[in-house]
Amino acid sequence: MQNKKSLVARLNAVNEYEQEAIPGNKLKGWRSFLGTYAGEHTAGTEFVIGPLFVAHGASAIDLVTGLILGNILAVLSWAFLTAKIAVKTRVTLYFLLEKIAGKQFTLIYNLVNAGLFCFLAGAMIAVAATAVGIPFDMTMPQLTDVYPNNVGWVTTVFVVGAVTTVIAMFGFDQVSKFAMVAAPWMIMVFIAAALAVLPRLGVTEVGSFWSVAESTIWTGVPLEGQSKFGFWHILFFAWFCNMAMHIGMADLSLLRYAKKWQYGFSSATGVFLGHFVAWIASGILYSLFLIESEGSLTFAPGPIAYSAVGVAGAACVVIAGWTTANPTLYRAGLAIQSINPKWKTWKVTLLVGLFTTIAACFPALVMMLLEFVALYGLILMPVGAVIFIDVYLLEKMGLKPNYAAQMGISLNWSVALTWTVTLIFCLLLNLVVGIEIFFLGLPGWFVAVLIYIVSSKFIQRK
């Protein structure tokens, strides 16, 4: 009983400054961000995204050049957009949005946001479950699976989900510590796994890697039923796969702890280790699996990593899944908690964890990850554009920033209009013009900026 009380007391004591600016003595050093970004972006998703590039027929040269340029653009977005605003305001996205858009809009946005975070965390839990299930000879999911189809899978997902949720309930500090420790090891395992299987692909010396890469690993030919990915697909995917975090401003929650805006550049550790080295490594592993299994439809990162480097590989899949699922669950908890600040963060995270675990039971979440990641960024992007304009431009234009807070209104129609019209515009671009989802973020951002400026002028002057 005493233990139970002290646990609840500890959980209640978790204070993440959701509804106030971060006090000066709570700011974190650059090493904290290096570790967090490296851990967060060397994740379970990397075991899925790298292989999906192979499945979509990316060529070796398109992959390497597209990833380098796309990742540079992502880092610049984190530093010049997110980090600058985070350091200037020191508050979470949700708190800032409430001042700009009002409580009603924030409520809807938070629900959408939390739902998307849950699905992303769910995909991580599912990826980790493919490794946890190895000793139990669990039936692994197939590329074509949509619904959960065996008890072993559901049980394993629930065990992984429960552990992930408990860790997330203890807040950012615990997550950060875990990511810091795991990050260097995960990178080593990713690289080691790829190196160890290269001889099985016919690479016996460094000089022969590129020719094997072009002819055997990234052949430029998509698998049957998969669309073809070229240079621009890779570039835009690398740039926008974390669009919700940088351009969409979700990482204000993380970077508000930074002493200087330049700490935004620490995201480079995440993207160049996770979204370059790890995607290439996991692509190599999947390519070998396709060759040795003669085109099997099984899509399970756990067994693939286990086959390459044994228990360490399987452990890497589990831990990589956790280090992304944990902060994502934490963010989802923050999103829901901001609806009612009186709710305890840990109780909200517990509920969010349960929903996430149920979602993780559906293998489609993993198989459609590229499309989901692009959609997730796109849906949250217009709010990032609104915040950018509100912080930097509105006052200079003689308009009121933080309009909802200044006017005491619960819904700023400029923001609601911006969000809705931008997403309708992107949907039309996709359905009518046929532009793929990976490319919609860029025109969408400019449309969001334009609509917010025009609608703010109209509504505020009225």
Supply the minimum distance, in Å, between the C-beta of residue 31 and other proteins: 6
Scored b (16 or more CB within 10 A) or e, 313-327 reads bbbbbbbbbbbbbbb
Identity of residue 443: P
In this complex, which beta carbon is closest to other proteins, that of residue 199 or of residue 341?
199
- Each residue 30-49 as x (binds other proteins by CB under 8 A) or -, in order, gives -xx--x--------------
Q: How many CB atoms lie within 10 A of CB 440?
A: 25
The four Cα atoms 426, 118, 325, 297 give a dihedral, to 10 degrees, of -70
In this complex, which beta carbon is closest to other proteins, that of residue 35 or of residue 302?
35
- Each residue 175-194 as x (binds other proteins by CB under 8 A) or -, in order, gives --x--xx--xx--xx-xxx-
In this complex, which beta carbon is closest to other proteins, that of residue 261 or of residue 413?
261
8 lines the binding site for other proteins (CB under 8 A): no
315 lines the binding site for other proteins (CB under 8 A): yes
> Residue 5 to residues 165, 342, 351: CA-CA distances in angstroms?
20, 20, 20
Nearest to 56 by CA among 363, 301, 370: 370
In this complex, which beta carbon is closest to other proteins, that of residue 27 or of residue 411?
27
Phi and psi at residue 257, to the nearest 5°: -80, -5
First-last CA distance in the chain: 60
Supply the minimum distance, in Å, between the C-beta of residue 205 and other proteins: 9
Supply the minimum distance, in Å, between the C-beta of residue 9 and other proteins: 22
Nearest to 331 by CA among 433, 204, 242: 242
Supply the minimum distance, in Å, between the C-beta of residue 177 and other proteins: 5
In this complex, which beta carbon is closest to other proteins, that of residue 3 or of residue 25?
25
- Identify the residue among 21, 136, 199, 446 touching other proteins (CB under 8 A): 199
28 lines the binding site for other proteins (CB under 8 A): yes
Of 229-268, binders to other proteins (CB under 8 A) are: 259
459 lines the binding site for other proteins (CB under 8 A): no
Q: Could you tell me which stretch among 102-110, 248-256, 309-317, 335-343 binds other proteins (CB under 8 A)? A: 309-317
Scored b (16 or more CB within 10 A) or e, 393-421 reads ebeeeebebbbbbeeeeebbbbbbbbbeb
- Identify the residue among 11, 195, 223, 416 touching other proteins (CB under 8 A): 195
Supply the minimum distance, in Å, between the C-beta of residue 359 and other proteins: 29
> Residue 15 to residues 26, 101, 146: CA-CA distances in angstroms?
11, 25, 39
How many residues would you count in the chain?
462
196 lines the binding site for other proteins (CB under 8 A): yes
User: Which tokens go with 17?
Assistant: 């400054």
Supply the minimum distance, in Å, between the C-beta of residue 305 and other proteins: 11
In this complex, which beta carbon is closest to other proteins, that of residue 29 or of residue 135?
29
Supply the minimum distance, in Å, between the C-beta of residue 406 and other proteins: 35
Max CA pair span of the chain: 72
User: Up-side HSE of residue 182: CA atoms within 13 Å toward CB?
Assistant: 27
The answer to whether the CB of 178 falls within 8 A of the CB of 266 is: no
- Identify the residue among 311, 397, 428, 454 touching other proteins (CB under 8 A): 311
Instruction: Using CB under 8 A, list all residues that contact other proteins.
Output: 27-29, 31-32, 35, 177, 180-181, 184-185, 188-189, 191-193, 195-196, 198-199, 203-204, 259, 309-313, 315
